[in-house]
Amino acid sequence: MKRLIIAIVILAIIFTAALINTRFLGTYTKEISDLLQNAETSASGYDWNAAGDDTDKAMELWEKKRAYFYVTLFHGETDAIYQDFCEVKKLIEYQQYGDYSAANARLIARLKLLWDMERLTLENVF
């Protein structure tokens, strides 16, 4: 009986940690996505400095937790997001709105998909 209780406690701890991780990831990726949306709005008005500032803030947020993401997520996904950030920053530098808008939308979508992969849903369980 003691083993069963210990096993249940361990499973409860793991489940709780997974839920906390999912909640954190959802909140964090939304914050980054909101900054990228603000950058998109600025770029559509050809305010490239504001777009660059918002993108820099978003990338700083991503970089702050990059090690955490490497531990908890697939490396390929985190690498792809970093590459997308680099592409978006370069397109802001060149001030090419069409290409920038597409790359920024792809980055936002990738962040949303990252969170969708971690959510506890029937689709992800089965």
* Residue 59 neighbours by CB distance under 10 Å: 20
Number of domains into which the chain is organized: 1
Which pLDDT belongs to residue 115?
84
State both tokens at 85.
């950030």
- Tens of pLDDT, residues 49-96: 999 999 999 999 999 998 999 898 888 999 999 999 999 999 999 998
Phi and psi at residue 121, to the nearest 5°: -130, 165
3 assigned to some structural domain: no
Q: Please state the pTM of the whole predicted model.
A: 0.85
- CATH number of the domain where residue 67 is located: 1.20.120
Segments forming the whole domain that contains residue 55: 24-119
Q: How far apart are CA 86 and CA 110, in angstroms?
A: 14
Residue 5 belongs to some domain of the structure:
no
| 18-28 confidence digits (pLDDT tens) | 899 999 999 99
Q: Which residues of 106-121 are buried (b: 16+ CB within 10 A; e: fewer)?
A: ebbebbeebbeebeee
How far apart, in whole angstroms, are the C-alpha atoms of residue 33 and residue 44?
16
Q: Is residue 95 part of a domain?
A: yes
